[in-house]
Amino acid sequence: MLSETKFKNYFEVFRDILRAVHSSTSVNEVLDVVVKKITEVLNARGAFLRILNKETNQFEVGAGYGMGERYMHKGPVTTEKLLPDPSDLHKVIIITDIWNAPRVEYPQQAWDEGVRMMLDVPLAIEDRLIGLIRVYLEKQRDFSDDELEFILTVAEQCTCIIERVQLIESQQAHFTHLATRMEKMSSLGRMAAGIAHEINNPLGGILLFASNMNKKVEPGSPFEKGLKIIIRETQRCKTIIQGLLEFARDKKPHKVAADINNIITTAVGVVQNEFYLKHVNLEKHLAPGMVKTLLDENQIEQVIINLLLNALHAVEDHGRVSIKSMVYPEQNSIAVQIADNGCGIPADEVKKIFEPFYSTRPDGTGLGLAVSYGIIKNHQGDFNVFSEPGKGSCFTIELPAMIEKTNTKEGA
Ligand SMILES: Nc1ncnc2c1ncn2[C@@H]1O[C@H](COP(=O)(O)OP(=O)(O)O)[C@@H](O)[C@H]1O
Ligand SMILES: [Mg+2]
């Protein structure tokens, strides 16, 4: 058992550490208190707290107290040196012979500092080591079980703090990374839009002159084939540039109270012929009692056409595509669902399909979904994709509804 004065000392140290945990804003301040208090209560020469850097697999000094300058500036130590046996992860390792302990990297330096004994206290969460406190003592002595228990309890507290801070830091790093990426994307977008604009006009000129020459060229002339290629490829460039301009423009929607069923009907009318030519059946199910929604009709029509054409491209001849509208009065929203029984999208590709220029089609621009996503977000809506390779895909867009009292027959 601990003597009463010792117990009091330990209690005070514990209280001071807990106070530091609650009042400090920086983890270093807390770790400084820990090494100082441990040194004092154990009547030691000093203590070092090292934290494992997962990337380099080395222990780096987190806090130090009581040892000479030379010690404070010692570099990181590799894990092999300090890694305790898995069975020792929650025990205090007592080093009585510093000259012959493989864990001690610089015995001479320690000896010169007057160190004759060391304690290694692993900071571990379950079977994962995150750091280590090393206590340096000037005299050999015995430690009671209660003392060792106390040291381990302090270590447990430190482990929790370090773990929490590391979690916050990694989240911050992740957010910073995302923010930088977004910033890069938007400046790239601006640059791309500028370039697209510059290229669009000369492309128009090339197309005009090539078309005129094509009209004048004699049938069978050696130029005929070349001109056709120029026209086709220039048109392809124009389609890509057009898509890029749409994507970069990020036009503010001009919203009016509209009926999504009417927009679906118009969009289906636009693509109907393409479906017919490919012998693909397009089913339309419009929700009765559709409520009005604040929409930019042109933009939403563009999204629906994009989704219908994607579905058409995904199915084989004689495939099936359906478009359905739904009303969710409880959620105050409406939805449009476009489903196909086409090739589907592999699970790891789904997250990429909204990225600009991601396309698996030889003549695709990869901008359809990127533009559609931007439009739906500008309408405070949501996109949902469910897809099974080989079976088909289902794209749902959900939009906030403008439930007009005069329109909700049920509630009136
Ligand atoms: N209904 C669908 N079924 C299978 N894959 C799809 C579907 N819709 C989109 N995709 C995938 O998403 C990619 C990106 O679509 P999109 O942005 O419209 O560009 P694009 O149609 O020009 O390829 C497509 O190339 C395709 O791989
Ligand atoms: Mg597309």
> Ligand 2 mean position to 305 CA, how many Å?
9
**Domains of the chain (ranges plus CATH)?**
4-173 (3.30.450.40), 181-249 (1.10.287), 256-400 (3.30.565.10)
> Ligand 1 mean position to 198 CA, how many Å?
28
pTM: 0.53
Residue 185 has what pLDDT?
Answer: 66
Q: Give the residue among 297, 231, 286 at the shortest CA–CA distance from 261.
A: 286
Closest ligand 1 atom number to CA of residue 309: 21
Among protein residues, the one whose CA lies closest to atom 4 of ligand 1 = 344
Distance of CA 166 to the CA centre of its chain: 17
Closest ligand 1 atom number to CA of residue 358: 14
Among protein residues, the one whose CA lies closest to atom 12 of ligand 1 = 353
Residues with CB under 5 A from ligand 2 (ion): 310, 368
Residue 85 has what pLDDT?
Answer: 77
Residue 405 has what pLDDT?
Answer: 40
Whether the CB of 345 sits within 6 Å of ligand 1: yes
Residue where the block lists tokens 């006009």: 201
Whether the CB of 41 sits within 6 Å of ligand 1: no
pLDDT digit of tens for each residue in the chain (412 aa)? 556 667 788 888 888 888 877 776 677 888 888 899 889 888 899 999 988 888 888 888 888 898 877 766 666 766 666 777 777 888 999 999 989 888 888 888 888 889 999 999 999 988 888 889 999 999 998 988 888 888 888 888 888 888 887 787 778 777 777 777 667 666 777 777 778 888 888 899 999 999 999 999 988 888 888 999 999 999 888 888 887 777 776 667 889 999 999 999 999 998 998 899 999 999 999 999 899 999 999 899 989 999 999 999 999 888 999 999 999 988 899 999 999 999 999 998 998 899 888 899 988 888 899 889 988 988 999 999 999 999 999 999 999 997 654 443 433 3
Whether the CB of 253 sits within 6 Å of ligand 1: no
Q: Give the residue among 174, 170, 162, 238 at the shortest CA–CA distance from 200.
A: 238
- What is the number of the ligand closest to the CA of 388? 1
- Which of 303-342 are b and which e, b meaning 16 or more Cβ less than 10 Å from the residue's Cβ? bbbbbbbbbbbbbeeebebbbbbbbeeeeebbbbbbbbbb
> Ligand 2 mean position to 359 CA, how many Å?
8
Residue 406 has what pLDDT?
Answer: 40
> Ligand 2 mean position to 241 CA, how many Å?
15
Closest ligand 1 atom number to CA of residue 364: 22
Whether the CB of 392 sits within 6 Å of ligand 1: no
Identify the bridge partners of residue 370 per DSSP, sorted by sequence position.
none
Distance of CA 323 to the CA centre of its chain: 32
On whether the CB atoms of residues 62 and 49 are closer than 8 A, the answer is yes
Whether the CB of 359 sits within 6 Å of ligand 1: yes
Whether the CB of 372 sits within 6 Å of ligand 1: no
Tell me which of 247, 302, 369, 396 to substitute to probe ligand 1's pocket, judged by most ligand atoms within 8 Å of the beta carbon: 369
Closest ligand 1 atom number to CA of residue 342: 3
Among protein residues, the one whose CA lies closest to atom 24 of ligand 1 = 359
